[in-house]
Amino acid sequence: MREVGIGLLGLGNVGGPFARQLAERAEALAAETGVRPRIARALVRDPSRRRELPAGLSEALGTDPAALLRDPAIEIVVELLGGLEPAGSLVAEAIARGKHVVTANKLLLAERGEELFGAAAARGVALRYEGAVCGGLPIVRILREALEGDEVLAVHGVVNGTTNYVLGRMGEAGASLEEALREAQAKGYAEADPTLDVSGGDAAQKLCLIAGLAFGVRVRQGELLVEGIERVTPRDFEAARELGCVVKLLAVARREGERLDLRVHPAMVPERGPLASIRGALNGLLVETRALGPLVLSAPGAGGEATASAVLADVLDVARLGGAAALPFSGRAPARLVPRAEIVSAYHLRFTVDDAPGVLAGLTAALGRRGISIAALHQRERREASEGPVTLVSLTHRAREGDVLAAVTEIDALPTTRAPTRLVRVEVEGALAPWRP
Ligand SMILES: NC(=O)c1ccc[n+]([C@@H]2O[C@H](COP(=O)([O-])OP(=O)(O)OC[C@H]3O[C@@H](n4cnc5c(N)ncnc54)[C@H](OP(=O)(O)O)[C@@H]3O)[C@@H](O)[C@H]2O)c1
């Protein structure tokens, strides 16, 4: 039996369950794998805080990261502090000292992944991060190991549980964004400051990691088209229902020839398709590959227990295999991205216009001049018999986004247009189309 020393950085929402899961499973794992991972030291900010710890761990608590990193008994450093510092310096130093690292810190990987993976490769140590991408959903392993021999064509995902819960409550219960966010916070799905979730930033960080894995390229968050859910309204859900769709915050990574279409934004997707069933705070991914076709995955994308189980799986791999458990991070080559104007999608457009002769002709002319063809167009019934603007709802066939934006700009400048046109992308084709039983 080989004992493998672990230095645990952080005993919070993820670190606590990790320590407990490891303690509960230690005997069975030792019997199954022949290695016994043991937490030799654990770093916290405040050791006096009351914590429920597995037997023996309280003696291992400390506040001195240098002592932990110098300890020759520690082979694997598990970073569950969060944030960029001191997590970044400690991970870099652990690698420099020849220790393997397992982390769930997607922010750190998004900011310094290239440098840290380069250092780990040069030092011959593993840097594993399953818990950093969609919590308990083992997408890193699937992309890097299970699908290694196949070619990934596209990944579509619901990768932020908070916004998925919020959009679900808005769509199903008619809650406002604020109400749904408060509910998500009360249930522990949303942070006190949910900005990173609501703005799409968290989903974009995950998408960068997924795209790196799926396509072997380097992507930075600032390069992506990222729109959050701030502007999603009850009317969008109504319109989605009329189309047989639901509204999701969709992450897209799709190969388009030599380029990649990478984006995060609210989108209407078919209610009988594979992503609509990703409900509540779950995460879900639809991976399309050349040989396999579509593969659908769903799991809790966050939460201490689910994330800890992903971290533990990485730790066990590294404990068994050492440096051979290293997974390449992503290619060195920067991704060539499809520019926003060249994205192709169908669009739901909602016009607020005067109820007057010739208005419709003005709209269709602006769209038609740019080759945008309309799949459906109808006038919303007035809720009250009163004078004033009317709402025209249309669905386009697939069109270039640059053309759609230009048409909308022209339409919004017409004297008969009363409010800015609402635009929501509609993704109903390919593997996202409704599935037949
Ligand atoms: N929570 C989730 O559902 C989830 C899901 C996926 C990924 N992650 C990632 O997992 C990581 C950890 O998240 P978490 O939710 O577990 O965080 P957390 O609950 O805030 O826990 C952080 C832990 O790190 C310790 N710590 C923080 N700064 C420290 C410092 N400067 N020196 C010493 N100790 C320090 C804290 O010590 P004290 O206990 O003494 O305060 C605490 O034990 C983050 O990278 C996060 O993004 C979390």
Inform me whether the pLDDT recorded for 153 exceeds 90. Answer: yes
CA distance 147 to 152: 8
Give the chain's domains with CATH numbers: 2-135+306-325 (3.40.50.720), 146-300 (3.30.360.10), 340-432 (3.30.70.260)
For ligand 1, the distance from its centroid to the CA atom of residue 22, given in whole angstroms, is 17
Instruction: Note the pLDDT tens digit of each residue in 189-235.
Output: 888 899 999 999 999 999 999 998 899 888 888 999 999 999 999 99
β-bridge partners, 102: 78, 128
Smallest Cα–Cα separation from 416: which of 390, 387, 378, 386? 390
Whole-angstrom distance, CA of residue 69 vs CA of residue 213:
29
The per-residue pLDDT for 303 is 87
Q: Whose CA is nearest to atom 18 of ligand 1?
A: 12
Q: Give the pLDDT confidence of 367-402 residue by residue, as tens digits.
A: 999 999 999 998 876 656 567 899 999 999 999 999
Say what the pLDDT of residue 331 is: 61
Contact yes or no for 308/14 (Cβ under 8 A)? yes
Indicate the pairing of strand 100-103 with strand 152-158: unpaired
Indicate whether 152 pLDDT > 70. yes
Q: Which pLDDT band holds residue 146 (cuts at 50, 70, 90)?
A: confident
Name which of 331, 198, 344 is nearest 263 in CA terms: 344
Quick one: the chain helix, strand, coil %, rounded to 5? Answer: 40, 25, 35
Is the pLDDT score of 412 beyond 80?
Answer: yes
pLDDT at 114: 85
pLDDT band at 13 (very low <50, low <70, confident <90, very high): very high
Compute the CA torsion angle 308, 263, 117, 215 (nearest 10 deg).
110
pLDDT of residue 325: 82
Least confident stretch, 1-10, 291-300, 320-329, 350-359: 320-329
Mutate-to-test residue for ligand 1 from 14, 91, 283, highest number of ligand atoms within 8 A of CB: 14
- The pLDDT assigned to 333 comes to 80
Residues at CB less than 6 angstroms from ligand 1: 10-15, 43-46, 49, 80-82, 86, 104-105, 131, 135, 302-304, 307
Of residues 99, 106, 187, 206, which has the active-site annotation?
A: 206
What rounded mean pLDDT belongs to the chain? 93
Ligand 1, atom 20, residue with closest C-alpha: 12
Task: List CB contacts of 89: < 8 A, sequence separation 6 or more.
Answer: none
Phi-psi region of 134 (alpha: psi -120 to 50; beta: other; left: phi over 0): left
Q: How confident is the model at residue 35 (pLDDT cuts 50, 70, 90)?
A: very high
Buried b (16+ CB within 10 A) or exposed e, 106-119: bbbbbbbbeebbeb
Angle among Cα 23, 132, 184 to the nearest 5 degrees reads 90
Q: Are 19 and 52 in contact (CB under 8 A)?
A: no
Got the DSSP string for 93-154?
A: HHHHTT-EEEE--HHHHHHHHHHHHHHHHHHT--EE-GGGTTTTS-HHHIIIIITTTS-EEE
Q: Is 248 a catalytic residue?
A: no
Whats the size of the chain, residue-wise? 437
Pairing, β 127-128 against β 61-62: unpaired
Q: Find the range with the poorest average confidence among 79-83, 111-115, 405-409.
A: 111-115
pLDDT tens digits along 128-145: 999 999 988 999 999 988
Say how many Å lie between the first and final Cα of the chain, rounded.
49
Tell me the mean pLDDT in the region 39-45.
98
| CB within 8 Å of 306: residues ≥ 6 apart | 135, 136, 299, 300
Q: What is the Å distance from ligand 1's center to 11 Cα?
A: 7
Residue 437, pLDDT above cutoff 80: no
The answer to whether the beta carbons of residues 411 and 351 sit under 8 Å apart is yes
- For residues 422 and 346, give the distance between their C-alpha atoms in angstroms, rounded to a whole number: 14
Residue 329: is its pLDDT beyond 70? Answer: no
Q: Distance, CA 304 to ligand 1 centroid (Å)?
A: 10
User: What pLDDT is attached to residue 435?
Assistant: 75
% of the chain beyond a pLDDT of 70: 97
Query: In the predicted model, is pLDDT for residue 436 greater than 70?
Result: no
Rounded Cα–Cα distance for residues 225 and 211 (Å): 14
Q: What is the arithmetic mean of pLDDT over 271-283?
A: 94
Q: How far is the CA of 134 from the centre of ligand 1 (A)?
A: 16
Q: What is the pTM of this model?
A: 0.91
Which residue has its alpha carbon closest to ligand 1 atom 30? 45
326 versus 224: which is more confidently predicted?
224
* Strand 344-353 to 399-400 pairing: antiparallel
Residue nearest to atom 27 of ligand 1 (CA): 81
